Every structure is written in C-alpha cells, then in structure tokens.
Amino acid sequence: MLQSLLIISRQAPWSGPGAREALDIALAGGAFDLPIGLLFMDDGVFQLMPGQNAGALQQKDLTANLQALSLFGVEDLFACKDSLADRAILPAGLDAETIKVLPADEIGALIDRYDQVITL
C-alpha cells in the first residue's frame, strides 16, 4: 500500500531553495502515483500569486511547476486562509484555480489525513 504524503511549503518563491524543492518533491511523487497533498502556509502562499517576475531576480519561474502538478496527478492543493489574510492576498486573486483554502484550525486535521509530512 502506498504511503500518502503531505508537503507543507512555507517559503516565499525566491527566498531560498525550499519552494522549488517542495514542488519538485510533489512532481516526483506524482510521477510515481503516490497520493500527494501540497499545503501552502506562511510565506509559501506567495508562490500562488500570479504575474511574478522571476527574471528580475535572475531566478527560474515556478509557475510552470505549479501548472504541471495536475498533469502529474497532484490535485490536492491547499492554502492556509490565515496566511493569505495576513499577507493581504485574496483567495479569488490566486493564479491556481484548484486551491482549497482552509482556516488554520483545520490544518491539524489535514495533516492527520496523511501518513508522512514534509515541511520545507
């Protein structure tokens, strides 16, 4: 039986390698048909913002990785409602249409649904 995996992404897209690594792990797990969930919390919710200019920071754009998640079977995408609100991000303005927005008090129950959890 396959172990389910929740990846919690807490880093802004350009603050270090954590955001890219979280997406890479999700894509790799999806390629092997693992049950994967991806939760964006804290500054990780900035990854969901449309219109980011990665070239200005001489970085590679993460948008293509986000869009490829569904192609790899990673469809359980979540964002912390409180993290969005703390950063004045409206859920309606997110680039990803399939994000389930959860209040902070439901995050514990989400984590309990998965066999393994990785936080980056």
pLDDT tens sequence across 26-70: 999 999 999 999 999 999 998 888 766 555 555 566 777 888 898
Note whether 75 and 4 are within 8 A (CB): no
Per residue in 59-115, pLDDT (tens digit) is 566 777 888 898 999 999 999 999 999 999 888 777 556 889 999 999 999 999 999
CB-based contacts of 111: which residues, under 8 Å, 6+ apart? 6, 117
pLDDT confidence of residue 112: 97
Note whether 71 and 111 are within 8 A (CB): no
Q: What is the strand order of the sheet 5-9 is part of?
A: 99-102, 76-80, 36-40, 5-9, 116-119
pTM over 0.85: yes
Q: Is the pLDDT of residue 117 over 90?
A: yes
Q: Is the pLDDT of residue 15 over 90?
A: no
pLDDT confidence of residue 4: 95
